[in-house]
Chains A and B, each alone.
Chain A
Amino acid sequence: MTRKRRRLYVLLACGIGLGTATGLALMAFRDTAEFFVSPSEIATKAPAPGRSFRLGGLVEEGSVERITQNGRPTAKFRVTDGAGTVSVTYSGILPDLFREGQGVVTLGTMTTDGSFRASEVLAKHDETYMPKEVAEALKKTGHWNPADGKPPPASTWNTLAPKSPGG
């Protein structure tokens, strides 16, 4: 019995030690574990032009402009996190989920004029899952405009029974 108890205590002590060490290591690597930086972080400490990094945020409403540059489809839009905004230029095909109000993560570099030149755009969708009819109902009643960003609190719609198109 005492040997079992001793083994248990040794195990617990090891667990506390390991947990503390991991916690400290995670805190030390805090910044490097981030997948992207937000526009407001760029405003406070701008990365050097030419250094590649990921910029993430929401596509600002009404900012998307699609043009053709050198025969390639090019999109100009602004990425915002509420506190800061960065203009982004991207030549190439955007993911299907790309829209105003959607989260995006773009890989690229800052140019000398303070805008961001992206070589890759990824769409970041949120944790909301709702049928089309529910989304339409929320939009129609004015409870949610997807271009503004976040949907209303889940409890207001996750049991909502939409009228089916048939009746």
Chain B
Amino acid sequence: MDTVPIPAARRAPARNLHRFANPGQFLRLSGAVLPWLIALAVGLTLVGLGAGLFLAPADWQQGDAVRIMYVHVPSAWLASGGYMTLAACSVLSLVWRHPLADLAAVEIGPVGAGFTALCLATGSIWGKPMWGAWWVWDARLTSVLVLFFLYLGHIALVRAFDEPERGYRAGAILALIGVVNLPIIKFSVDWWNTLHQPASIGLTGSPSMHISMLWPLGVSSLGYTCIFAAIVLARLRAAVMERRIRALLSARAEAHR
């Protein structure tokens, strides 16, 4: 009977990054966190959206149409933020060959694409009554559309190979090339003249949004972030379990031969 070669990642001492690579430990930890995360996600989103739709005042010039903001802005932040996590997983995957980062990158893709689609759709619905156009090819809108296509490309590429490892590598490289788009999205409204207005909330300076609109936006953004994290975590748990089942089935098939 020949011995099964142990993957390099298993042999490495269990410390730092690879501590969470142990699937059993990951399942235990994420199983404990997930219910709380879901409760937080539902609670914060309900409070944030409820306050945004019913408590917050209408805008002086946009009227009630401004309420689309409470869906549009958090999903736009999550679209970029999700891509940043995807890129971080890709670095972990390429440099440290972290097995969980590979799976996480696969699972983040569709969720990020979903939030980007939500951002584009609500932006379009908002643009028609305010600007007078569903869509324009200005730098902000175009760069976010490119982000959406990057997500779609990543989703397709990581699943395109018979050997999953090759898909992970190719996907990670694509995700990292796409990172150049993130500063373009962020600064497009400052570098070029666009139809889209510049950011209301920045790291420096006072937000040019009244406090009565700012707090519902903040709460719904936190809620959306928790939704994003919860969906990714649930998908990641499913992926880890699926991998385990596959390993068990192939081990059993091996034993019965």
- Point out the residues of chain B lying under 8 angstroms from A122, CB to CB: 131-133, 136, 195
Decide: B132 and A154 in contact? CB cutoff 8 A: no
At the interface, yes or no: B53 with Cβ under 8 Å from chain A?
no
Residues from 121 to 157 in A contacting B, C-beta threshold 8 Å: 121-136, 146, 151, 153-155, 157
Is the pair B195, A134 in contact by a Cβ cutoff of 8 Å? no
Complex contacts, B210 vs chain A, CB 8 Å:
129-131, 134, 157-160
Residues of A contacting B208 in the complex (Cβ-Cβ under 8 angstroms): 126-129, 151, 154, 158
In the assembled complex, how far is the CB of residue A57 from the closest CB belonging to chain B, in whole angstroms? 10
CB of B164 within 8 Å of the partner chain = no
Q: Bound complex: CA of A15 vs CA of B152, how far in Å?
A: 22
Does B184 count as interface, using CB distance less than 8 angstroms? yes
| Contact between chains at A129 and B59 (CB < 8 Å) | yes
B214 interface neighbour in A11, A97, A125, A158, Cβ under 8 Å: A158
Residues of A contacting B205 in the complex (Cβ-Cβ under 8 angstroms): 154
Asked if B139 lies at the interface with its beta carbon under 8 angstroms from chain A, I say yes
CB of A33 within 8 Å of the partner chain? yes
Chain B positions within 8 Å of A34 at CB level: 192-193
Q: Which of B61, B129, B133, B206 is close to A158, meaning CB atoms less than 8 Å apart?
A: B206
CB distance from B190 to the nearest CB of A (A): 11
Interface positions, chain A 1-49, Cβ under 8 Å from B, are: 4, 7-8, 11, 14-15, 18-19, 22, 26, 30, 33-36, 38
Which of B59, B200, B212, B213 has the most chain A CB within a 10 Å cutoff? B212
Q: Is the CB of B132 within 8 A of A35?
A: no
With an 8 A cutoff between CB atoms, is B146 at the interface?
A: no
Q: How far is the CA of A34 from the CA of B139 in the complex (A)?
A: 7
* A121 in complex: contacting residue of B132, B137, B139, CB < 8 Å: B132
Chain A residue nearest in CB terms to B187: A26
Number of interface residues of A (CB under 8 A): 47
Question: Complex formed: what's the CA distance from A95 to B61 in Å?
Answer: 12
Task: Provide the bound-state CA to CA distance between A2 and B96, in Å.
Answer: 11
Cβ-defined partner of A97 (8 Å) among B61, B179, B191:
B61
Q: Are B139 and A35 in contact (CB under 8 A)?
A: yes
Complex formed: what's the CA distance from A34 to B138 in Å?
7
Contact A127 B180 (CB under 8 A): no
- Of the A-B pairs whose beta carbons lie under 8 Å apart in the complex, a sample of 22, sorted by A's number, is A11-B94, A26-B184, A33-B192, A95-B131, A97-B61, A97-B131, A105-B195, A123-B131, A124-B131, A125-B197, A127-B200, A127-B208, A128-B200, A129-B69, A129-B208, A130-B209, A130-B213, A131-B213, A154-B205, A155-B206, A158-B209, A158-B211
A residues bordering B, Cβ < 8 Å?
4, 7-8, 11, 14-15, 18-19, 22, 26, 30, 33-36, 38, 56, 95-97, 105, 120-136, 146, 151, 153-155, 157-160
Sample of 19 more A-B contacts, CB < 8 Å, known A33-B139, A131-B212, A134-B210: A7-B95, A11-B91, A35-B195, A95-B130, A123-B131, A125-B61, A129-B208, A129-B209, A131-B57, A131-B58, A131-B60, A132-B60, A136-B60, A154-B209, A158-B208, A158-B210, A159-B210, A159-B211, A160-B210
Complex A-B, nearest 3 residue pairs according to Cβ-Cβ distance, in ascending order: A131-B57, A135-B60, A95-B132
